[in-house]
Structure 1
Amino acid sequence: MIKLTGENLNLEEMRSILFQNETINLDSNALTRVQKSREAVERIVREGKTVYGINTGFGKFSDVSINEVDVHALQLHLIRSHACGIGEPFEERVSRAMVVLRLNALLKGFSGIRVEVLERLAYMVNHSIHPVIPSQGSLGASGDLAPLSHLALVLVGEGFVWHEGKQIPAYEVWGNKGIEPLVLEAKEGLALINGTQAMTAQGVVNWLEAETLAYQSEWIAAMTMEALHGITDAFHPAVHQARGYVEQVDVARRMLKWLQGSQLVTTQGEKRVQDAYSLRCIPQIHGASWQVLGYVKEKLEIEMNAATDNPLIFEDGEVIISGGNFHGQPIAFAMDFLKLAVAELANVSERRIERLVNPQLNEGLPPFLSPQPGLQSGAMILQYAAASLVSENKTLAHPASVDSIPSSANQEDHVSMGTIGARHAGNMIQNARRVLAIEAFCALQGSEYRGKDKMSPLLQDKWNEYRAFVPSMDEDRIFSTDIERISVHMKNETASSIYTKKEAVSVQ
């Protein structure tokens, strides 16, 4: 069980919550802060003070005062009117992350929400009740209003949830459990929806999947090295220490580990003096992507523990400030940066695929790895598919954060588009995973032609692991099935199943 404090949630804990369905509990000191903040809101309501978000309208309506008798209706109208997300829902794992992150932010005690609401959010996490949240419709400031409104609807018994493998109405799941939906009090609707948790939740899932993919790209590239009689001198530690990037040094070290004991790789001058860049520069290219992952990790872990709603309540309610912590610019930049790192893992993978299948480049392997060149096309069109995915990623890599369209009658005149960036990064990770799945398919076949018994022991293990569900290419077949099997297997892996923490020095 992981304790949420609002202060120190990290990506490893999120991995456990999202991938191992770890449960959570709430820190008692944090709940004390929450209670004090709530008392301040109740005092403001009693005394009739005018404070944005408590007894005023929202956005351009911030100058409209709301009577105390209408405070409950104000919160319900807010989340209903703002629940205008559209498109396909976020995947369930992202929805779970969104609940956890919103809960963690509210535990900081700056939002004026009741402990009862936080306990209900924790119940949802621990009983796998995940809101169905449309993925489109957020500008990323004032936070992720539309997605988080769909989350908030579930608390009041509206909207839909995933539960036990089905999508069902929220009122039905509460009824089945004998629990009454909540009635939101003053400020609670705003506290629930004014934040960056949609982009950050998608960003967290993106990072965890991208980290695993970056590790997977190394053994796949190593197997390609074997299939092409690659030169290992380029991975000599002195080369990478001379440049000084720790991530580059780590990739080179891990590549040599994968290739240790291989009889298929070569040394300088044995077959040729040097390899093409897609082989020789693996530590430099992949290492640069690891540098991006390090930057993105830092920003995500700050945002995961940030107070991002408005207004914020300080000094037991004596100081209430309308600010702009809901603006998603830091995560928008981080997601756009992550897109570049993922794009390059796929770009260089596609170039290695081309070398594996091209008879002018593949060091004597059959043309297109075909078992009967001419009669059978082999992996010819797999390279086409990889090229298509890489090209699609190039269009998705356009930064979402450079765009801004004013909203709320120009009151909110600059927005981040961070959620669009996070969604596109997720799409690019899926595309990149399939490109690397194609490289894995071709590398498995190429190394088989060279002689499985000559592979390094570690790569023989990988060969056996994947051959258990992807047979050798002894004749043409519908290869899309094979690629999807590999892709699904890769998606279900975690970084820790590839390397121990001691082995995987990068981005710790």
Structure 2
Amino acid sequence: MTLVLHPGRLALADLRAAWSAHTPIALAAEAYAQIDASAQAVQAIVRKGDAAYGINTGFGLLAKTRIPDDQLEKLQRNLILSHSVGTGDLLPDPVVRLLLLTKIGSLARGYSGIRAAVIDALVALYNAEIMPAIPAKGSVGASGDLAPLAHMTLAILGEGPVRVKGELMPATEALRAAGIAPVVLAPKEGLALINGTQVSTALALHGLFMAERLMEAGMVSGAMSLDAAKGSDAPFDARVHAVRGQPGQIAAASIYRQLVADSAIRASHLVGDERVQDPYCLRCQPQVMGACMDLIANATRTLLIEANAVTDNPLIFRDDDEVKIVSGGNFHAEPVAFAADTLALAIAEIGSIAERRIALLIDATLSGLPPFLVREPGLNSGFMIAHVTAAALASENKSLAHPASVDTIPTSANQEDHVSMATFGARRLDDMAHNTAAILGIELLAAAQGIDFHRPLTTSPHLEHVHEQLRRAVPFYEVDRYFAPDIAAAKAMVLRGELSATCRELFVTLHP
């Protein structure tokens, strides 16, 4: 199958699919007329000889420096080489696929003055699974993601390293093997390639798609913990949530009701249970997870718009056959920074409330289960230190959740004096997601252990399915054993979306 890109019309499902796996792409035929007209407009400006930023001038504070026509190709190449100053680990392939996809879509809208041949080179790169080697650090999220996008551009110039199916090799070698000719950049093209928010957006989309899986897994693990602790499902009553009116909370409560429906464990304590109210980590799950759901939905709307946006500078507009070059600031990634910050809050809170449920389950006075969820406590420590790990990760996420968007640092001799820090704001979501996935993995193991202590009673059909799937990977914790592999296995199931997939029909509303 081939994904046909219609510029400005990328759907969230297209982006999610590109993140999940490589699929060939093709640019819609109708896009080329607009692309060609925009490129011809730039060529006309060069022939006319008027000064135009980024076309025949220097960049940033050097914008007043006029560049001779015979040096314009060199100007664009120098721009890419000088801006390739990234550092740190390389962006993973799923993120690189997203940034290539969104960059191609943005340029193909025909406001950037770039030739079709250059866009086609990016498409060929993508289809050959040649991933530019892009260091993750070095962008402040304004004036575009300059450094990482410069590293992206190196690949089509035949410069620097690339990654092909996980193996690093010189770009020249990879291009030659794929039959792709290196590009020589024309006026404006280097600037169009490195201006833009595509790296920040790709990283934020990566965080978004992981947050979706965490949301689903967190609701499943929370429902399992409720049954393991013999908690009440009364707080999920639809009337409670309707009178408040928060849409995420209403949706979350509905999912929880379905997750725990027909539980024999719940039925066993409907009569004679003297507890009046459960602790908040059980009772307020719809309120907390529903609020996280709303944050994720808001971030989704922002990032889908940005994934289809034109964010380089300057832009080429044609009105009644008159060409206008307009310098603006679409490269400022403040919307992405805010979206990333709200995703960070959601990811942190999903893990935070899960950590509290783990603490409840291991406390015999609250849960009614054996201390630390193990037979012969004392001789065995059970889940004692697994909870400590969860607490450590939840606390780390509190620091990482500090908003990146409130930070700024002037660059380019104060020409670029306010920046978004969107790239870091989005990049830190991966660390946070892995932390929360580990917390949820520990909770799933703890809740499954608690449910096993209630046998022969069964939990709900949905949760029995999840329990069975988990137990195929991790057996009951009978006595102390090397525990880290169990946690790693459960965490991996969270990150892959495997456990939530068993209840997929309950989560369809979470995937626009």
Q: TM-score range by the shorter chain?
A: over 0.9
Answer yes or no: is 1:378 the counterpart of 2:378: no
User: Structure 2-normalised TM-score?
Assistant: 0.96
Q: How does 1:6-405 map to 2 (within 5 A)?
A: 6-265=7-266, 266-267=269-270, 270-315=273-318, 318-363=323-368, 365-405=369-409
The 3-state SS of whatever aligns with 2:26 is: strand
Given the superposition, is the C-alpha separation of residues 148 and 41 from structure 1 closer, same or farther in structure 2, using an over 3 Å criterion?
A: same
Structure 1 distance, partners of 2:326, 2:139, is: 24
Aligned-pair distance for 1:20?
A: 3.2
Structure 1 distance, partners of 2:21, 2:272, is: 48
Structure 1 contact 40–317 (Cα < 8 Å) conserved: no
Structure 2 distance, partners of 1:180, 1:34, is: 20
Structure 2 contact 440–494 (Cα < 8 Å) conserved: no
Structure 1 distance, partners of 2:389, 2:431, is: 16
Structure 2 distance, partners of 1:74, 1:385, is: 52
The 3-state SS of whatever aligns with 2:417 is: coil
Deviations 1:300-348 (A, max 9, x none): 0110111100000000661110100000111111111111111111110
Aligned-pair distance for 1:409?
A: 0.6
Structure 2 distance, partners of 1:502, 1:355, is: 26
Structure 1 distance, partners of 2:325, 2:144, is: 19
The 3-state SS of whatever aligns with 1:297 is: helix
Structure 1 contact 232–267 (Cα < 8 Å) conserved: no
Answer yes or no: is 1:410 the counterpart of 2:414: yes
Aligned-pair distance for 1:23?
A: 2.4
Given the superposition, is the C-alpha separation of residues 503 and 329 from structure 1 closer, same or farther in structure 2, using an over 3 Å criterion?
A: closer
Aligned-pair distance for 1:493?
A: 2.1
Deviations 1:211-254 (A, max 9, x none): 11101111111111111001011111111111111211111111
Deviations 1:246-274 (A, max 9, x none): 21111111111111111112548634121
Structure 2, unpaired ranges of 5+: none
Deviations 1:40-60 (A, max 9, x none): 011111222211011111111
Structure 2 distance, partners of 1:318, 1:501, is: 51
The 3-state SS of whatever aligns with 2:377 is: coil
Structure 1, unpaired ranges of 5+: none
Please tell me the residue identity of whatever aligns with 2:103.
R
The 3-state SS of whatever aligns with 2:88 is: strand
Given the superposition, is the C-alpha separation of residues 18 and 319 from structure 1 closer, same or farther in structure 2, using an over 3 Å criterion?
A: same
Given the superposition, is the C-alpha separation of residues 317 and 384 from structure 1 closer, same or farther in structure 2, using an over 3 Å criterion?
A: farther
Deviations 1:187-233 (A, max 9, x none): 11110000001110001111111011101111111111111001011
Residue 432 of structure 2: aligned partner: 428
Identical aligned residues as a percent: 42
Given the superposition, is the C-alpha separation of residues 90 and 452 from structure 1 closer, same or farther in structure 2, using an over 3 Å criterion?
A: farther
User: Structure 1-normalised TM-score?
Assistant: 0.97
Structure 2 distance, partners of 1:19, 1:284, is: 30
Structure 2 distance, partners of 1:496, 1:218, is: 9
Given the superposition, is the C-alpha separation of residues 338 and 381 from structure 1 closer, same or farther in structure 2, using an over 3 Å criterion?
A: same
Structure 2 distance, partners of 1:303, 1:268, is: 53
Structure 2 distance, partners of 1:411, 1:466, is: 55
